[in-house]
């Protein structure tokens, strides 16, 4: 078993660059299936989730080649409409393959998806969208089978602005007959990035990044080349690490607008945040002020940064209330932080965080991907040597995290037992 050993108490200092966004590249890879040829995706982060997606596609006849950030995907050979179960169960985002395969091949069969254990995470909104577009959906024992000769455009209202459902419906609608309108669509930057890639393939999409997206279906899409946006969650994790360790870090390769809610919270808690054309500098203040946080769909504070800001606020002067509104079971990191002396109580969907002067080192577990990011920040901020296990979660979403943190002065290494 691999584990991370971190000696905390060192303020992070220096410059680090964010990688391409995991949550942007996965839907873009899925969208490449809508064409019949080779698409190129620049700035692809070589993460476990990306490798899993590529391996899934290889079993379905889609060849992939990765070299130094450039992923080539040849979707001409797509011949299989049944996604391999072992991969789908491992990763929830594999469900993003459903829309493109259904739209291009007329049928698709998939197991129910897996991913982080952060709540029940149903897929009803995705299915509701496909059904509205005329797909016949059969739910079997642990799998879903969907068929439609050609999907038809429809008006689809999402009860919640689900990121995945918006993406899946956008992809399916791009090759459907007629016009689709998605109302109460998700507005996340990753939706806009996907729309840009689909547009380069020849799709006709208007309104991505707003609550109403209009898609005019076309009969075919061509392969295209696309650069993935920077990972705002990875960048946000470095911002939080700088603030929580009392350091000063410049994060390069960011889109500042995507991080406004994180920057605002850091400023409110006493850090200085300066933006400079594609980079953000975070310098910790003398002390950390308490602040309440509520996770919301974009442009609100991201649920994927909730665990990381909790570490920061665990060392604040005073009491903060962190409310999670997106996922029902996303406080698994609280138990780990308590091992470090954090004073946190859970009350329903909120965590009441009474700041303590300093966290202490402990043996920690990365309970999910972003909680893993939070454990790293906590270990960096704490006095003493901490260990973090269950690194497979971290490998899903943080590219070269050890090297990047070591370049900022962190004492961090991976050991194998
Ligand atoms: C995406 C991100 C994830 C992020 C989340 C919210 C990817 C690969 N993952 O996940 O990192 O935390 O957005 O910003 O992009 N829901 C339903 N029915 C559905 C779909 C969703 O009830 O059909 C619920 C979910 O259970 C959850 C909420 O809606 O409570 C948000 O989910 P959604 O926006 O779909 O997240 P994902 O696309 O899975």
Distance CA 156, CA 177 (A): 15
Question: At residue 334, does pLDDT exceed 90?
Answer: yes
The answer, yes or no, to whether any atom of ligand 1 lies below 6 A from the CB of 370, is no
Distance CA 132, CA 224 (A): 29
The answer, yes or no, to whether any atom of ligand 1 lies below 6 A from the CB of 324, is no
Distance of CA 169 to the CA centre of its chain: 18
- What is the model's pLDDT at position 90? 77
* Residue 120 pLDDT level (bands cut at 50, 70, 90): low
- What is the model's pLDDT at position 126? 93
Atom of ligand 1 nearest to the CA of 302: 14
CB contact at 8 A, 352 and 319: yes
Average predicted confidence (pLDDT) for the chain:
94
Å from CA of 285 to ligand 1 middle: 34
Alpha-carbon separation of residue 355 from 145, 247, 289, 311, 359 (angstroms)? 50, 19, 9, 10, 10
Atom of ligand 1 nearest to the CA of 327: 30
Cβ burial 232-263 (10 Å sphere, 16+ → b, else e): bbbbbbbbbbbbbbbbbbbbbbbebebbebbb
The answer, yes or no, to whether any atom of ligand 1 lies below 6 A from the CB of 124, is yes
Atom of ligand 1 nearest to the CA of 123: 23
The answer, yes or no, to whether any atom of ligand 1 lies below 6 A from the CB of 92, is yes
Of the candidates 99, 4, 15, the one whose C-alpha atom is nearest the C-alpha of residue 276 is: 15
Distance CA 259, CA 236 (A): 7
Token match 């997106």: residue?
326
Q: What is the mean pLDDT of residues 146-163?
A: 96
**Dihedrals φ, ψ of 139, to 5°?**
-95, 115
Least confident of 142-151, 174-183, 266-275, 402-411: 142-151
Instruction: Please say if 79 is a catalytic residue.
Output: no
The answer, yes or no, to whether any atom of ligand 1 lies below 6 A from the CB of 126, is yes
Of the candidates 370, 358, 351, 375, the one whose C-alpha atom is nearest the C-alpha of residue 293 is: 351
Question: At residue 174, does pLDDT exceed 60?
Answer: yes
Å from CA of 165 to ligand 1 middle: 8
């Amino acid at each position: 078993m691999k584990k991370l050993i971190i000696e905390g108490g060192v303020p992070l200092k220096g410059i680090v660059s964010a990688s391409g966004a995991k949550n942007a590249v996965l839907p873009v890879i899925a969208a490449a299936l809508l064409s019949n040829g080779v698409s190129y995706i620049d700035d692809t982060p070589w993460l476990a989730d990306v490798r899993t997606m590529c391996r899934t596609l290889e079993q379905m006849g889609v060849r992939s080649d990765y070299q130094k950030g450039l992923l080539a995907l040849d979707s001409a050979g797509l011949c299989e409409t049944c996604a391999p179960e072992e991969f789908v169960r491992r990763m929830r985002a594999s469900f993003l393959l459903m829309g493109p395969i259904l739209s291009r091949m007329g049928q698709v069969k998939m197991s129910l998806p897996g991913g982080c254990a952060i709540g029940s995470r149903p897929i009803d909104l995705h299915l509701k969208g496909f059904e509205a577009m005329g797909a016949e959906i059969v739910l079997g024992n642990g799998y879903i089978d969907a068929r439609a000769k050609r999907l038809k455009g429809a008006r689809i209202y999402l009860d919640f602005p689900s990121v995945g459902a918006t993406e899946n419906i956008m992809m399916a609608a791009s090759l459907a007959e007629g016009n689709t309108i998605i109302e109460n669509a998700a507005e996340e930057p990753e939706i806009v990035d996907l729309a840009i890639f689909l547009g380069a393939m020849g799709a006709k999409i208007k309104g991505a990044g707003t609550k109403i997206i209009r898609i005019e279906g076309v009969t075919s899409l061509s392969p295209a080349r696309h650069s993935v946006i920077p990972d705002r969650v990875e960048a946000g994790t470095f911002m939080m690490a700088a603030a929580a360790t009392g350091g000063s870090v410049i994060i390069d390769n960011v889109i500042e607008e995507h991080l406004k809610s994180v920057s605002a919270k850091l400023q409110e808690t006493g850090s200085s945040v300066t933006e400079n054309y594609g980079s953000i500098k975070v310098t910790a203040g003398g002390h950390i002020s308490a602040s309440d946080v509520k996770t919301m769909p974009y442009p609100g504070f991201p649920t994927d940064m909730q665990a990381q800001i909790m570490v920061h606020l665990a060392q604040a002067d005073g009491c903060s209330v962190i409310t999670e509104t997106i996922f029902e079971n996303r406080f698994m990191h609280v138990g780990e932080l308590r091992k470090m002396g954090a004073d946190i109580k859970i009350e329903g969907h909120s965590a009441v965080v009474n700041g303590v002067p300093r966290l202490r080192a402990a043996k920690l577990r990365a309970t999910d991907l972003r909680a893993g990011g939070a454990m790293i920040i906590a270990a960096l901020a704490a006095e003493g040597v901490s260990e973090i296990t269950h690194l497979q979660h971290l490998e899903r979403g943080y590219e070269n995290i050890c090297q990047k943190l070591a370049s900022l002065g962190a004492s961090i290494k991976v050991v194998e037992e």
